[in-house]
Amino acid sequence: MWKPGTKAPGLNVERVSDEKSDLVVNKLKHLPLTTQRQRLPIYTNRLHILYLLEHYRTVVIVGETGCGKSTQIPQYLFEAGWADGGRVVACTQPRRVAAQTLAARVAEEMGVDLGKECGYTIRFDNKADAERTRVKFLTDGILLREMMGDPLLSRYSVIMVDEAHERSIYTDVVVGLLKKIQRRRKDLRVIVSSATLNAEAFKNFFLGGSAMCVPPPMSAGRQATGPILVTFSPGEQATNPMCNHPFRRARLDAWQSCLWKPDGYTR
């Protein structure tokens, strides 16, 4: 029983510092953001992607996870002038958290405040300015809702459907409607990107207009800038030397106690 006003239990236990852990890696963190962007594998295909967008209305991009597709391609389009004249570059995500975190990262790299030149729109949360936002991250469902008010998506110059391999209902409907919109809007560009995608299937789907596949940018490994949490199953915790911390052992004991049942006891 802990008496209020006294030292809380567990404060004298030495904790594992994340700074000394080898599980959280960002070798480029000490470099300027501009240099970090240039070190990403997608940077070598920057001019190639922009060239294809000028000549093809649909581009399918397959790249390894962490190569910079989601954060860099919208910025390349912004820098190339696809957001000039009041137009907007959109990037759809299947999950709300992905739209929020990507918008925050891109706003940081662009050197702007989140919600101004770069923002996001998800259900129950909107950090995008109708007049100032030029790079916008949103979920597939929000884009469908915008189609109800503006069927031709006249404000958007490029729409990037990211993580298309997940193939949710919203994603499939969005891709199908974008193909119909391109029949009326010859100036609309569509990018379909993913890490594990059947590029030929999407290319054949859009082949009624014009589609092109970009070869995957090669990467020596994940270039993620955020921390990576590694967990172990109960069996691994018993033998892995990294799991000998008192708190981890306590969790293992609790897990094993939940699995133990006396003879004749049924749940």
What are 236's two structure tokens?
């691994």
d(CA 174, CA 161): 8
Q: Is residue 212 helix, strand or coil? A: strand
CATH of 33-214, one of 3.40.50.11890, 3.40.50.300, 3.40.50.11540, 3.90.600.10: 3.40.50.300
Average pLDDT of the residues in 23-45: 80
Question: Is residue 190 within 8 Å of 159, Cβ to Cβ?
Answer: yes
Q: What is the pLDDT of residues 55-65, one digit of tens each?
A: 999 999 988 88
pTM exceeding the 0.75 threshold for the entire prediction: no
d(CA 57, CA 182): 8
Query: What string of H, E and C letters represents the secondary structure of 232-262?
Result: CCHHHHHHCHHHCCHHHHHHHHHHHHHHCCC
Higher local confidence (pLDDT), 176 or 247: 176
The CA radius of gyration of the chain, in Å to the nearest whole number, is: 23
Q: What is the pLDDT of residues 100-130, one digit of tens each?
A: 999 999 999 999 999 999 999 999 899 999 9
Average pLDDT of the residues in 130-135: 93
pLDDT of 1 reads 54
Q: What is the pLDDT of residues 136-186, one digit of tens each?
A: 999 999 999 999 999 999 999 999 999 888 878 888 899 999 999 999 999
Round the average pLDDT of the chain to a whole number and report it.
79
Question: Is residue 121 within 8 Å of 127, Cβ to Cβ?
Answer: yes
- What amino acid is encoded at 176 in this protein? G
